[in-house]
Amino acid sequence: MTPRPAGAAVALALLLTGCGTTPDAPPAAGPGAASGPSTGSGVSGQVTVLAAASLTTPFTALAASFEKANPGTTVRLSFGSSTTLAQQIAQGADADLYASAGTTALQQLGDVEPTATVTLARNTLEIATPAGDPAHVRSVADLARKDVDVVLCAASVPCGRAADEVLAKAGVEAHVVSREIDVSAALSKVTLDEADAAVVYHSDVVSAGSTVAGVAIPAAQNVTLTYPLLRFGDDPATAAFAAYLAGPEGTRVLGTAGFLTP
């Protein structure tokens, strides 16, 4: 289903108020989005979901379990930069649900108005290094070393803006060798041993398992992003899957993947 533009200025203003990359950002809320049937609801049809790259692992698992419990449904997933996905929606891309990392990208939606919103989770940043940490990266300060090749997300996407904020808080000028289109691309530079460190989300370090090592960023230097889920329209299958993502099973799977509760 294609989102319909109308009166989005008010809806997005409410969503953006108090949200972003601050640790105390309150969750956005929308009517009927936070609760509802989880599985076995008897719905059918196709649900198209555009989601931040950092949600790839948990959303793929949740889509599979939802389809199994609701045999008449098909969940189509597309992952990428939150900013790019929002721009695609504004230009008419088919989307029933949109999940963003942080709220800044929502400004790119233009006049597209969500029917309902809910905050799914939160996330913090972490330094990822190749397994064994061969460059001996122990802190944010080590990212300034000339012998440490650092990869960040592009400055225009949420993980890049958040990384820049971390570096600014720490007073560190990192030895950045490349900036990637999204967090998955940044992490892949580390898993392929093409970089010594990348500033990514904690959930990405968790999902990568033993292929990377994680270096925690102190709370005083870190930032926290909220993950809003926007629903467009009132299709029963879309509403059911949105409720499933925001419900107990969605919260459990997201938590296992390294996300914080909303």
Report helix, strand or coil for 181: coil
Q: Are 197 and 138 in contact (CB under 8 A)?
A: no
Give the span between the Cα atoms of 230 and 181, in whole angstroms. 22
Q: Are 117 and 229 in contact (CB under 8 A)?
A: yes
Q: Are 66 and 75 in contact (CB under 8 A)?
A: yes
The neighbour count for residue 78, using CB atoms within 10 Å, is 14
Q: 201 a known binding residue?
A: yes
> Tokens standing for 126?
């972490």
> Tokens standing for 22?
């601050």
Which residues have a Cβ under 8 Å from the Cβ of 195 and sit 6 or more positions away? 149, 150, 151, 177, 178, 189
Report, in angstroms and rounded to the nearest whole number, the Rg of the chain calculated over CA atoms.
Answer: 18
Give the span between the Cα atoms of 94 and 83, in whole angstroms. 16
Q: 49 a known binding residue?
A: no
Q: Are 249 and 38 in contact (CB under 8 A)?
A: yes
Report helix, strand or coil for 3: coil
Q: Is the dihedral of CA 36, 38, 39, 43 positive or negative?
A: positive
Annotated binding residues for molybdate, as ranges?
54, 82, 183, 201
List binding-site positions. Answer: 54, 82, 183, 201
